[in-house]
A and B are shown apart, each in its own frame.
Chain A
Amino acid sequence: MAGSGDAHLRDPGAFDDVVLRVENLVQEFPAGGTVGRLAGRRAVVHAVSDVSLDVRRGETLGVVGESGCGKSTTARAIVQMPRPTSGRVLLGPGTDDEVDLAATGGSALREVRPRLQMIFQDPISSLNPRRSVRDIVGEGLAVWSSASDGPHQEARVDEVLRAVGIDPAVAATRRAHQFSGGQCQRISIARAVVLDPEVLICDEPVSALDVSVQAQILNLLEDMKDRYGLTLVFISHDLSVVRNVSDRVAVMYLGKLCEVGDADAIYERPAHPYTRALLASAPEPAPSVDPSEAAVGDEVPSPIDPPSGCRFRTRCPRAVERCAVEEPVLRAVGDDHHVACHFPSLWPSS
């Protein structure tokens, strides 16, 4: 996996409806740990290393990978919290209002923020415990409006609250702790869509919820997509959930992309050994892989000192010497199906 490269990015000439393009995103953090610092070593956590992604209007890009692979870091780098170490984050690439968020700052950045919204994993921590729910949902409008459009705003808040299934009258007086986790997540969704964003980044929006409530929220996200014409970047560690929501899937491992492509291709013809291991490890393994392929070691290397060459090589059943020396680059193995591996499973093109 250690895949870099941008072969999977779609040609702006052929597709004029790409709304978000992330190019060569790198995010590094200084590693904590007094020992390292005392020894004078400046250790660095390579949380995200050279990740490129793009999303077309109305599409849902699923990002899947195990804990610590840099999914949240990618999401946060896209919204510039914190700003990535390097790379470009283009909103509306190729259009008149193209902006590179990573090169924008101050009030210019604030002004484009409404175009890109985010939903977080923890529904309770996402809502200010001391504000009424209605107030929370209306915050985006309050930030960006003049006093004159008050009534208009009220109507908008009502509309969005109803769309997520929360009664506006109830929301006016209640605070977050008076709602259940699933309802809090609905409120977060309402807050994010109230400004009519172009792209909505969902960082594990259902991971903290019970299965029955998870289905409600996933259905709601689909509805909201139709209703408001949203484009989603959907991050999750749950392969089944990603399968359900995604048009396109990106599989991450240790800060890099392994495999990107059409969701059907990834799930039905997985080519990367890591993708295959994930699919084989699911409680009910995907039919496209053999359950024995789950046999990859447990130990994820540290992002402070990632393996040379392919980052997956320490666990990969197919690894050979070349994998340690040469980093595999994302390359096409099918129609909209790209893999970063020297020895991918190749499928007869269907």
Chain B
Amino acid sequence: MSATPSPSGPVGPLLSVRDLGVTFRTPDGDVRAVDGVSFDLAEGRTLGIVGESGSGKSVTAKALMNLLPSYADVEGTITFDGRDVRALATARERHFWGVELTMVFQDPMTSLNPVKRIGEQIAECLRVHLGRSRRDASAAALDLLERVGIPEPRKRLRQYPHELSGGLRQRVVIAMALACGPRLLIADEPTTALDVTVQKHILDLLDDLRRERGMSMVLITHDLGVVKGRADDVMVMYGGRTMEHAASGPLFTAMRHPYTSALLETIPRIDAAAHARLVPIAGRPPNPSELGPWCPFAPRCGSRVEACTVEAPPLVDDGTGHRSACFAPLGAGEA
């Protein structure tokens, strides 16, 4: 894929990913989960990664966090603040995972130890990574809980994860992620398991924290609506590849990829009339074992042309940083 930098802010990118590829070597054959993903993320910005189930969003995130299992082959380069993170060898060098670069998962229980009090868990994080004293750490833990909007933080410090509701747990996880003052936070479907009212609070909280601390954020979701108005840039993935990547405005107003448009149209709208006929995308979400050197969306695409089934379209930049990978982009006819 072309390695054209994506839209980015005035400063150089904090995170820069080039031709990231991930192949799982499983007993049932190789699974190409991510293929040629490149993007830049500038300091203080939010990148939304959107796509259906199996499109490779989580694998991309895990590759950034170095969390992939050993049977995964990773290619490409990941540069964080000028350092090639995949080349880092020593434990000391790798220290920045969890400190400068942290992640929040969909299920808060995956990040929480069920048999340890909330307070201890946050404090431990601070002591291990930042070498704070015990007393310091627990004071900081209290501050953090307050900051993420947990009511009665003092009481919560002594509680166990199962005593909290899903929304509170996710706030605790966010508090832990923030404990070390990360520069980049990757949130993988942080609200998918939560109720709408809670979802909104958590997303707003993440937004506030990002602004307040000047963090960068990668917000992964399958819901375009979540990303709309929250992310500065949006990358749409399908079958492990980038379909379209642009600043949020142009992506929603002048989308070029048929998949982006199909994804947007397939979602029922809260302000539409009852019984409005939906526009489904035929078929089912991508399965990486059936991908090949053609456009992954071709079997389901309404604007497919001959070329789509022969080779994969390159990701082209239109000059404004709006990148899309399609042989028959939308709006091409009118131009």
Contact = CB atoms under 8 A, between A and B. Distances in A.
B270 interface: yes
B274 interface: yes
B262 interface: yes
Contacts of B228: 283-284
B87 to A, nearest CB: 37
A299 B151 contact: yes
B52 A211 contact: yes
B270 A267 contact: yes
Interface stretch (A168-176, A195-203, A273-281, A334-342): A273-281
B200 interface: yes
A314 B67 CA distance: 41
A71 to B, nearest CB: 12
Interface stretch (B12-20, B21-29, B102-110, B275-283): B275-283
Interface in B151-210: 151, 165-168, 195-201
Interface in B261-286: 262-263, 266-272, 274-282, 284-285
B111 interface: no
Interface string A195-225: 0000000000000001111111011001000
A239 B271 CA distance: 10
Contacts of A300: 165
Category for how many chain B residues contact A: 35 or more
B287 to A, nearest CB: 9
Contacts, number: 121
Interface string A272-299: 0000011111111111000000101111
Contacts of B269: 240, 243-244, 284
B236 to A, nearest CB: 13
B223 interface: yes
B268 A283 contact: no
Contact of A283 (B201, B226, B272, B277): B226
B168 A298 contact: yes
B270 A239 contact: yes
B274 A245 contact: yes
Nearest to B150: A298
Given A66-B197, A211-B267, A278-B196, A219 B222 contact: no
A212 B281 contact: yes
A275 to B, nearest CB: 11
A1 interface: no
Given A212-B52, A212-B281, A299-B151, A66 B266 contact: no
B77 interface: no
Interface of B: 52-53, 151, 165-168, 195-201, 222-223, 225-226, 228, 262-263, 266-272, 274-282, 284-285, 300
5 contacts: A244-B269, A278-B197, A287-B271, A294-B200, A299-B168
Closest 4 CB pairs of A and B: A283-B225, A215-B280, A212-B281, A244-B268
